[in-house]
Amino acid sequence: MKYLHLIWRSLMRKKVRTLFTVLSVMVAFVLFAFLAAVNLAFSLGVDITGNDRLLTIHKVSLIQPLPIAYLEKIRQIDGVVNVGHYTWFGGIYQDKKNFFPQMAAQPEEVLRLYPEYLVPDEQQKAWFADRSGALVGRRTAERFGFEIGDRIPIQSPIWRGTDGDPMWEFTIRAIYDGAERGVDETNFFFHYDYLDERRSFGEGLVGWYAVKIDDPERAVEIAERIDAMSANSRYETKTTTEKAFIQAFGDQIGDIGAILTWVMTAVFFTILLVTGNTMAQSVRERVSELAVLKTLGFRNGTVLGLVLSEALLVSFIGGGLGLLLGWLAVTAMDPLLQRFLAVFHITPAAFAVGLALAAGLGIVSGMLPALRAMRLRIVDGLRRA
């Protein structure tokens, strides 16, 4: 780094131009950070879902129910470790705008199938023992101020009681936290038995099955066996990995990943042109100075490295500031978007990609000007002095 001072002085030769170039790069990386968080949100955290879980739904659509009798049949299939069923509740808490996922399930199986849900032992026991008890994610609990022991009335437009009353009451018995950043903490689980014994129709039917398998490499094989079990019946099934299911669910909105990729490609191509033009102009203005450096004994490779380092320094300063500001913006917006997005943050992988893009931007934008500087003949350079 003995040439860092020389590199810095070259950049400060035109302070305003360097400043605006850095700001342009910074804006691009702020946008990159924000779009990375949006992409993660619309993929519903698909990258952290268990790769050893399958989801079995009705072959026609997710809203078609399945018989609870499939539970034991699936459990008997070779390679299945655990299986549990879930039923969508779709209730309204106070106002239709207060949406959060609510599902009837088997309490013990919820925690076996999703070990990333962390629940204190005493709360687990309280939830298991209370037929009308509920387990709620930390984000939803904080959003509505739910505390252990609270009675929560929820009106369901789908399930009415045997008396025709659409109102259901639950007691918050447990609150779960995610084992890592990105685990969905918005869910609300309650006892399937409570739903099944009180609802006016659909007795013995469930929404879908979650299946934990012993070997992710056997996912396709086990999925085919599960579906073969119900072939040619009234309740045929379709089984996929949890990751594939969630990705398909997110893609119903649109291929967000592809859209964001095209947006970022356009942005970075524009910034590449801006940065490359800045470096080319800088080299043209310093032809005589570069010739003097070569006269003093600087080798062609050293001159190449100096110019390329200038582009990399601009790119890393702008990219680093952009990623930092993007992270601060996403962190500040996360609490405001809890009611709309279950997952909204920037992953370490996104930061790594951002730094790689900064390096690539610096190399590509600076390579042509650096090659021109390297090939400069001393006589040609001094002639322009």
pLDDT at position 113, please? 92
- pLDDT, one tens digit per residue, over 79-124 is 999 999 999 998 999 888 888 899 999 999 999 999 999 999 999 9
Domain that holds residue 97: 60-235
Nearest to 35 by CA among 194, 242, 261: 261
278 versus 217: the higher-pLDDT residue is 217
Residues 72 and 182 in one domain: yes
Buried b / exposed e across 185-196, counting CB within 10 Å, b at 16+?
A: bbbbbbbbebbb
CA of residue 317 relative to chain centroid, distance = 26
Other CB atoms within 10 A of residue 258 CB: 10
pTM summary value:
0.68
Helix extents (H) in 114-231? 121-129, 138-144, 192-198, 219-229
Residues 309 and 171 in one domain: no
pLDDT at position 380, please? 62
- pLDDT, one tens digit per residue, over 203-255 is 899 999 999 999 888 988 999 999 999 888 899 999 988 877 766 555 555 45
CA of residue 297 relative to chain centroid, distance = 52
pLDDT at position 336, please? 62
* Number of structural domains found in the chain: 2
Q: Which of 181, 206, 235 is the last residue of a domain?
A: 235
Q: Which two tokens stand for residue 181?
A: 């950043």
Residues 207 and 295 in one domain: no
Q: Report how many helices (DSSP H) and strands (DSSP E) the chain contains, helices first.
A: 14, 12
Backbone φ, ψ for residue 200 (5° rounding): -85, -10
Q: Which of 235, 263, 287 is the last residue of a domain?
A: 235
Residue 115, SS3 per DSSP: coil
Residues 159 and 302 in one domain: no
- The answer to which of 51-55, 161-165, 296-300, 327-331 has the lowest mean pLDDT is 296-300
- The answer to which of 9-13, 181-185, 214-218, 377-381 has the lowest mean pLDDT is 377-381
Classify residue 51: in a domain, yes or no: no
- pLDDT band per the 50, 70, 90 thresholds, residue 179: confident
Residues 323 and 377 in one domain: yes
pLDDT at position 335, please? 65
pLDDT at position 18, please? 82
- pLDDT, one tens digit per residue, over 340-358 is 555 677 888 888 988 898 8
Residues 65 and 38 in one domain: no
| Contact status, residue 79 vs residue 215, Cβ threshold 8 Å | yes
Residues 22 and 74 in one domain: no
Residues 182 and 96 in one domain: yes
Residues 308 and 281 in one domain: yes
- pLDDT, one tens digit per residue, over 42-65 is 665 555 555 789 999 999 887 899
pLDDT greater than 90 at residue 313: no
Classify residue 291: in a domain, yes or no: yes
